[in-house]
Amino acid sequence: MKKYFQSLFLVVALCPTLFAQQPDSLPAKSQEKTEKIKIVTQDYSNSNVEMADTFRADGKIYVVVAVIMVILSGLFVYLFLLDKKIAALEKMKEEKEN
C-alpha cells in the first residue's frame, strides 16, 4: 500500500497540470474590464488549431503521441503487475485462514 501511495504521489507531482484547480472567478479588477464575446457560427467551423498544425508540420506530433503511449502503457503494466501481487497476497491470506 505504501508503494501505491508513493507511485500516486509521483504521478501527481509530475503532472501538475492534470490536477491543478482552475480559479472559480477572476480578480475584481479583471472582471470589470472583461466583456462577453458573442459566439457566432464561424466559431463552430474553426478547424485551425495552430499548435497541432505546427506539431504536425514539424513531425513532432508523433513524438508527443509516442510519449503519451509510453506513459500510458507503463501505467497499465504497473497496474497489471500490482493486481497480480495483490491477488497472490489475497491467496496467501486465504490459505493461512484455512
Q: What is the DSSP letter of 15?
A: -
pLDDT tens for each residue of 44-80: 776 676 777 788 788 888 898 999 999 999 999 999 9
Counting every residue written for the chain, the total comes to 98
Does residue 23 or residue 42 have the better pLDDT? 42
Predicted pLDDT of residue 38: 86
Alpha helices in 1-98 (DSSP H): 2-14, 16-19, 28-33, 41-44, 50-58, 61-97
**Would you tell me how many other CB atoms lie within 10 Å of the CB of residue 55?**
16
pLDDT tens for each residue of 70-95: 999 999 999 999 999 999 999 999 99
| Alpha carbons 52 and 36: distance in angstroms, whole number | 27
Predicted pLDDT of residue 29: 56
pTM over 0.85: no
